[in-house]
Amino acid sequence: MSSGNFLDKLLDGVGVEWKELGDVAEYVRGLVYNKSSESSDGTGFKVLRANNITLTGNSLNFDDIKVVNFDTKVKKSQKLYKNDILISTASGSREHVGKVAFINEDIDFYFGGFMAVVRCGTKLNPRFVFHILTSQLFQNYLNEMLNSSTINNLSSSVMGLFKIPIPCPENPKKSLAIQAEIVRILDTFTELTTELTTELT
């Protein structure tokens, strides 16, 4: 069973309200720079791009980091912070659009122009949203939205319209408790799946 189907089972029987992502979270686009901004000596702002998210494990890798000069215009919001969900918004390859990684701690990295970050409001557990964005629910939405377009690009409007199932929204404390329990179960499930895959390999 995939974690996406598992998520459906966990939400089954819980009263949920479907909220558009744009209403409950912030969607921040990444740092746009040109070739002349790239650092020649390795000093500057470190920038993560689509290739820094592994396709299978939804985790970060730091194999090929782009560095831009310190005089490049960057916004504080384009730096990566704990509980950010980093997402690939555009790529020459459809399979890379929408892949995500969870940021576990503040890191001294920014994110590039073909990337974005989802930052959750106080009524959402960021890790809960991460699991939704790695689920079949989100993949189905992407297929529907991107197959109708020749451009593989997750704009703010496309992401903002994606609906998230929020349990017991009328009781924020209970909602967060349910979200935390779902996160605990899915994190354990993911960990066991990873261990099993490693052993089989």
The CATH number of whichever domain residue 151 belongs to comes to 3.90.220.20
What element of type H or E holds 151? none
168, burial (CB in 10 Å: exposed 0-12, middle 13-18, buried 19+):
middle
Average pLDDT over the chain, rounded to an integer: 88
* Angle in degrees, CA 182, 169, 161, rounded to 5: 90
pLDDT tens by residue, 89-109: 987 777 789 999 999 999 999
* Angle in degrees, CA 172, 174, 175, rounded to 5: 60
Quote the number of domains for the chain.
1
Confidence label for 189 from pLDDT (cuts 50, 70 and 90): confident
The total of other beta-carbon atoms located within 10 Å of residue 83's CB is 19
Domain, as residue range, for 26 = 3-200
Confidence label for 153 from pLDDT (cuts 50, 70 and 90): confident
Residue 61: φ, ψ to 5°: -130, 155
Question: For 196, how many CA atoms within 13 A lie in the half-sphere containing its CB?
Answer: 6
Look at residue 3 and tell me whether its pLDDT is greater than 70. Answer: no
Question: What pLDDT, on a 0 to 100 scale, did the predictor assign at position 196?
Answer: 64
pLDDT tens by residue, 35-75: 999 999 999 999 999 999 998 888 999 989 999 999 999 99
